[in-house]
Amino acid sequence: MLRRKFLQLAPVSTLAAAGACAARPPAQQSSPRLLKPARLQTGDQVMLICPGGPINEARLQKAVANLTSLGLQPRLGKHVLAQNGFNAGTDAQRLEDLHAAFQDPNIKAVWPVRGGYGCTRLLPLIDFELIRAHPKLLIGYSDITALLLAFYQKTGLVGIHGPLGSSDFSDFNLGHLRPLIMEGAETHLIHWAAEGVSLVGGKARGPLIGGNLTLLAAMAGTPYGFDAKGKLVFIEDVGEDPYSIDRMLTQLRQSARLDQASGIILGEFVGCEADPDDLSLSLLDTLKGRLVEFGLPLVYRMPFGHGDQNCSLPIGVQAELDADTGSLRLLESATA
């Protein structure tokens, strides 16, 4: 049913059709003052850490090779290969590596090797004054969503929702990452017409915020949860059944003022279709059922997060979504 071109699906309600008419200005609200980290330069030292799940030596070496290919000098967190069950070491070990990376003046960016469960455990323990005093690029996705959002909420730090240290550094992924972290691009166009589906048309502007749906839902109602009002919200996940997607979107509707977002950008939701014999709505019907009624510009199957193609999206940076053409334009740089 989904073709490899940008489709305009028929509006399912009068409200949805009305939402496609005009660009939506961002709502007025209190947002953190942006704290932009310095862009990376050839030869900069970058710390590889594991704040969530554990890794093996092969995965670490892939991350080292990836950073070296960018002309960067990878350095290893003290506990990067530690393991404590499903976590990459104890909370104290993972926190030590995170704090050490931000405190070290020679380190110019912090790049998790992988996501994996565990980042939310660290949030109450993090020294946010340390992060504010030493702003640096933090790059990653999946469970790293917790750190990206918490840093933005507590300090205003712009982080990059993008490839992890051990991700595939494909031409596509680097083409959307390098301009943000190494070239200081003031504007950047991400055009997804060949990939996406428009569920509600129109244009919308606002600061980008979002990440992995499981983490967004897990942080709802905590001091680190996000407020969608006036923002361009991007959401993705992997390996979740449609009923779980429904439950988590329902939680965000009730906790994050999702209906007051400027627009919503949905990822590919890899492996989230129901099994053929399940008593279930399809993934697409689930997403439409929870979001289309808002009448906000809304697109689906944008390539970010757990798919092979992973565009980099800077948290807190102003952007404009065109849901009719399938494009997102960053309106300011992600770095100082």
Catalytic residues, which ones? 142, 236, 306
Report the distance separating Cα 75 and Cα 54, nearest Å. 17
Q: Determine contact, residues 144/236, Cβ cutoff 8 Å.
A: no
Residue 198 is inside which H or E element, if any? strand 197-200
In sequence order, what are the residues at sequence separation of 6 or more whose Cβ sits closer than 8 angstroms to the Cβ of residue 229?
27, 29, 257, 260, 261
Strands (E), the chain: 7-8, 45-49, 73-76, 107-112, 137-140, 160-161, 188-191, 197-200, 203-212, 232-236, 263-266, 298-300, 313-314, 318-322, 327-330
Place of tokens 């919503």: 264
Q: Determine contact, residues 142/133, Cβ cutoff 8 Å.
A: no
Report the distance separating Cα 332 and Cα 276, nearest Å. 44
Tokens at 185, concatenated: 């691009």
